[in-house]
Structure 1
């Protein structure tokens, strides 16, 4: 009886396995004209990772169960669903809605159905839910052929944007144009919530109207306008916390001691540590467990980040308005709690369109006049540590510091034997009498008044320093103000002939304030012999004037457009910087409040003109 039951169970298992077994299906994907669709995605519905891509002939091979459903997708075509069968022939139909979508191209707009150049569009719906800090971060994974990589983990740090790869060994950044105005310095000033759409012009045909400036691609940004109807008030708020998701594996104190002994013995020297299993730290205290985990000390876990956005928008027959304000603040996960790595941005925007005249129902000439007035302002404050460097940076030092070193000096005898001497300005003879003075230093201390450990005390670390001591030094403060005004007029001259005038500007002011409040000593390679204050400021003023005539005509299924335009631009930039030694009051660090001179005050001016006819 037991044998029969076992045979029956085995038969049932074999039957179930046979039913669940997947088969291999082949097929071809064609468009409505019978041409093969290259690169279409064939996916098993509801199953991640189970799919295929059609080849140059539209063919594909996929493993699936006969009862499952295949979903076929391709940009510009409607999705198709089908149950797998032998020698499938699938025809995709064009998505007319997608083809009717309007994209910005240079000095106008066109339907996707008539655009032959390589243009990628990212709409406000695509950006919804991403909550990017910067506009360039918003492009990640949303535009084909656009590679966006983070420069570093610094709060507010810009991304490296490359359109179809690196185009030159020098500056490969694309040309950024916001509401028709070329913007210098990237898109840091833009609040991502103010964006209506982003178009990326990727080839020579689409960017030809911008000339050589479009060699690395063009990114066109269109900001939002109001929608017809009553006023809409929107407020978005988010608050979160950030922590390092992974830490580097480093050796414990015991493993470190063993390796150091092996290195010394193999080099013909005496072992560094007498007993790797009975270690004492730089304060003479017994080390238990891992030792000093410098990464734990450096990382700022649960660093806060907050974002506030409010907008008021609406439109009527006479006015279209969009007003917004954004505030973003982020604390860095390395040095943020020391004031070393932080980012704060305040942005204001006002987009207004006024209909001065509309007599289109009465006549077909000089019948409509619109005036557009835009204003954007952004203020950014930030501090930052050295990034992408293993030599002398906070994080690089944290990875290289020995786990046998204590972060601070708590042993009074150790402090007196070496640290106190560094802070003593007197020179003594053999009897202990003062015979002169010398340069002295101030060793950074923690909140409890303990010296931070100098790593050179336990060996040569060269440019590596105690990362906690490094973060106790006042950070340089970066600041910037940016104004982007725009004034334009649209006048309907005759029938489909329209005149457009635009005056826009990009006014940027930025700089850095830093000071050295003490004659600190971090190591033999990192020390200061004077207090000082340093200040630098830059100014960039760009303006652009454009006049265009556009004629659009549609006859039946055919349409054509003619554009005649003139554009003129001027760029001017200034730089001024200087510094002084010997602060009178370290609590009021200022170049004007110092007694000595240091370095050379520098100033530079750069001017460029450009004009073109399109």
Structure 2
């Protein structure tokens, strides 16, 4: 039988679905479960089965955190305490009422048993979980309480007993996620009604990401969307490819920012001003835009003001960028040894030991690529009344390059005001002012060609010998 460790299964689920599990290590230590013997509709159902089969229980919080713990113990059963003295003492006399057993079975919408469902007496800690066949059993002081039945992926139900001791509970799927609205080119649709290939990145996926451009938000967030940077230089445009490369010419998608089509305007807005991003990947979703949408469409919706008291929001972050996975360079002794072998084969004069002792030992890649700072500050004010809403935001981004004298600075000022004059008339403005300044240093090629900022500094660092000093005698 294909059994595997519960802890290993939790680690796989954590990586695959970007969730977190909270548990004591001794709870799952040396516990094994066979999840290949059953077919599960969702990964949460697989999680519930694995945890329940291990004699444990799992609960989900509001932030994709799953708490695994021991099952709650049932309420105290009625105890019988024998009398020890007195003429009327009778052995085995009961001093508390007899417990009432309540049993039942929990099934899903399709009639299949649902294991791992939490059944709790409302207002108490008396509860249990269903077994692999969906059955549960509780001991209660009476049959007049209310049971709260809850499970991951299902709607929580409260069931008054009203004297019943046998229950059959049918859970309903939690379809809240299917009611999310997806913005298309010509309309909006619920996820449940959507048939085209559309990927959505919402505000909760965007907030807190330390990115410099909106295109970087999509990295790892949408299937079939590849995000690449040619050199990693500050301010460099990010290449977005939806479902691969379809032509030898322009493969960039069409961007729609608040209804305005653009090819490069995506780099002029601040990532913090974005409310949601929808990627239209198939022909039916992007058909309204015609030939321009042959490489896909990225629909960007920016933040709007909301009715209520004025709200001030300030966010900032700072970080350090470092180079990684650099090519291992030869040091001076290794270079001198290789040079002398080549010189001997070529009949030239080798480098003597006396001269080699005076040469410096320089790693030119590390001299060229230095840690660089990145800072971002965002401030916005929003609010409004029943008929008018507004938002004003400003941001500043500065990014130093790993190569000295390269940098990128961007200033953004955005305002959006909307007013409803009547049931059929609505006016508003949406303006984004952006100023950016890029300091480039050659990072690719040999420097030839129009628009090339110069020969690659990294290329020359790879060619430079370690015995060449960084500074001359005058510093």
Q: Given the two structures, how large is their TM-score scaled by the length of structure 1?
A: 0.51
- Give the secondary structure class of the aligned counterpart of 1:141: coil
2:115 and 2:132 in contact (8 A); partners too: no
- Indicate how the Cα distance of structure 1 residues 178 and 81 shifts in structure 2: closer, same or farther if over 3 A, else same: farther
Q: Secondary structure at the match of 1:343?
A: strand
Distance 1:67 1:225, change over 3 A: same
1:138 to 217, 220, 223: 217
Q: CA deviation at 1:107?
A: 2.1
Pick the aligned partner of 2:206 from 105, 110, 127: 127
Conserved 8 A contact 1:356-1:371:
yes
Q: 1:84 to 1:215 in 2, by over 3 A?
A: farther
Contact kept, 8 Å, 2:31 with 2:54, in 1: the verdict is no
Cα contact 1:119–1:201 (8 A) shared by 2:
yes
- Could you tell me how far 1:44 is from its partner in structure 2? 5.9
Is residue 2:182 matched to residue 1:117? Answer: no
Closer/same/farther in 2, CA of residues 85 and 141 from structure 1, 3 Å limit? farther
1:81 Cα shift? 7.6
Residue correspondence of structure 1 range 332-371 to structure 2 within 5 A: 332-335=401-404, 339=405, 341-358=406-423, 368-371=424-427
SS class of match (2:290)? helix
CA distance in 1, matches of 2:352, 2:217: 56
State the match for 2:359 in structure 1.
Answer: 287
Instruction: Report what 1:313 is aligned to.
Output: 382
CA distance in 2, matches of 1:386, 1:63: 56
Larger relative contact order, structure 1 or 2 (CA cutoff 8 Å, min sep 6)? 2
> Are the counterparts in 2 of residues 44 and 71 from structure 1 also a CA contact under 8 Å?
no
Aligned partner of 1:260 in structure 2 is 339
Which of 273, 277, 282 aligns to 2:351? It is 273
Alignment of 1:379-528 (within 5 A): 379-389=435-445, 392-410=455-473, 448=474
Deviation sequence 1:12-54 (CA, Å, 0-9, x none): xxxx9xx8263544244455xxxxx7xx578769xxxxxxxxx
Distance of 2:52 and 2:470 partners within structure 1:
59
String of CA shifts for 1:559-592, please: whole Å, max 9, x gaps. Answer: xxxxxxxxxxxxxxxxxxxxxxxxxxxxxxxxxx
State the 1:85 CA deviation.
Answer: 9.4
Q: Residues 87 and 97 from structure 1, CA distance in 2 versus in 1: closer, same or farther, beyond 3 angstroms?
A: closer
Shift of 1:188: 0.8
Alpha-carbon displacement from aligned partner over 1:516-547 (angstroms, at most 9, x marks no partner): xxxxxxxxxxxxxxxxxxxxxxxxxxxxxxxx
1:258 match: secondary structure: helix
Tell me if structure 1 keeps the 8 A contact 2:393–2:414: yes
- How far the C-alpha of 1:397 sits from its partner, in A, is 1.2
Residue of structure 1 in register with 2:399 after alignment: 330
1:147 to 221, 226, 231: 226
1:103 is aligned to 2:182: yes
Q: Do the aligned partners of residues 109 and 44 (structure 1) sit closer, same or farther apart at CA in structure 2, a change above 3 Å counting?
A: closer
Among candidates 206, 211, 214, match of residue 285 of structure 2? 206
Deviation of 1:208 (Å): 1.0
Partner Cα separation in structure 1 for residue 462 and residue 58 of structure 2: 50
Deviation at 1:193, TM superposition (A): 0.8
Task: Report if aligned partners of 1:390, 1:397 keep a CA contact under 8 Å in 2.
Answer: no
SS at match of 1:221: strand
CA drift of 1:68 comes to 6.1
Provide the C-alpha distance between the structure 2 equivalents of 1:238 and 1:357, rounded to a whole number of angstroms: 42
C-alpha separation in 2, matches of 1:129 and 1:123 = 12
Preserved CA contact (<8 Å) 2:201 2:222: yes
- How far apart, in 2, do the equivalents of 1:149 and 1:254 lie? 38
Residue 94 of structure 2 is aligned to residue 22 of structure 1: no
**Counterpart in the other structure of 1:460:** none
Q: Which runs of 5+ in 1 are unaligned?
A: 1-15, 32-36, 46-59, 359-367, 411-447, 451-614
Counterpart of 2:54?
66
